[in-house]
Amino acid sequence: MNNKISKYKVLLFYKYVDINDPESIVKEHLDWCTRNGIKGRVFFAKEGVNGTVSGTSGQIEKYKAHLSGYSYFRDIWFKEDDADVVAFKKMHVRLKNEIVGGNLQNTLLEDGGKRLSPEQLMNFYKSGKDFIIVDARNWYETIIGKFKNAITPQMKNFREWKKVVDEDLQEYKDKTVVTYCTGGVRCEKASAYMVENGFKDVYQLNGGIFNFIKKYPDTYWEGGMFVFDERRVINPNTKEELKHIASCYFCGRPTSYYINCHNVDCDRIIVSCHECKVEKDYCCSDECRASQNKRKVYHG
């Protein structure tokens, strides 16, 4: 996204594949990552793997070789980004029922929407095609960035997707619908659920927002992209009018940054510019600032 050489890398990856023994992989994987200084979050389940990890360029090259050394993950697609910091403090490797929790165990991957490349999405927009674009991410991700004209269901988490489809999106059943998420993993099942429930022409953005903004910054993506790591947000755009869609809760200036209120009992997500964040001591209110149960570690 820029030309300066970054010391660190962040990898984003997933693969749906039947795994016989995810328990043993979890243990082995955690050991390997700990020994090799890899930090991040990786989930394994009987249905596959979903993860994001960070480290130096050298560490990340080793990691890629290690993970794709498993026959299950030989052809896994690594999406790679530069970072100025190690994007995680710890390494978590967990066994899950689903690699993304959506209560979509009965949704079949083979029903998934047709894969739409970034080039094809560009074409949809440029040609003025009549299509609906739906964000499959949570409300706090969509408030700081989204595709032009996207529908952003205000979901607390991905488990609400079924309800969104069953209730809010019914009127679009006969339309061309495109779903998108950060790296594509949520859309595999989000789009399949729509197809299984009678939506006629469903596409999923292949490789997600990540893949699109790498190729086409300053086009149809508006604002920043929320990431679940220490970077918090990725800002792909340089055009002033496309940089931010959110505004600071405190001062109203445009920003894509956010904080989790440092009062642990509050923890709410608030869009805040850097200046206000510091001035308010990372808290949403006087009450939270006065709390005895505040986070000790500051970020950003």
CB 36 within 8 A of CB 65: no
Question: Residues in the site for Zn ion, rule: CB under 5 A?
Answer: 248, 250-251, 261, 263, 266, 273, 276, 284, 288
Concatenated DSSP letters of 145-170: EEETT-B----SSGGGHHHIIIIISG
Question: Interior CA angle at 171 toward 169 and 176, to 5°?
Answer: 80
Whole-number minimum distance, CB 274 to Zn ion, in Å? Answer: 8
Considering beta carbons, is residue 219 or 235 the nearer one to Zn ion?
235
List of residues 6+ apart from 21 with CB closer than 8 A: none
CA distance 289 to 235: 29
Considering beta carbons, is residue 225 or 273 the nearer one to Zn ion?
273
Active-site annotation holds for 288: no
Concatenated DSSP letters of 57-93: HHHHHHHHHHHTTSGGGTT---EEEEESS-S-SSEEE
Question: DSSP 3-state assignment of 112?
Answer: coil
Question: DSSP 3-state assignment of 141?
Answer: helix
List of residues 6+ apart from 172 with CB closer than 8 A: 132, 199
Considering beta carbons, is residue 174 or 265 the nearer one to Zn ion?
265
Q: How many CB atoms lie within 10 A of CB 113?
A: 23
Task: Name the active-site residue from 181, 273, 276, 288.
Answer: 181
Considering beta carbons, is residue 116 or 276 the nearer one to Zn ion?
276
Considering beta carbons, is residue 83 or 261 the nearer one to Zn ion?
261
Whole-number minimum distance, CB 249 to Zn ion, in Å? Answer: 7
Whole-number minimum distance, CB 233 to Zn ion, in Å? Answer: 15
Whole-number minimum distance, CB 138 to Zn ion, in Å? Answer: 19
Which residues are catalytic, by number? 181
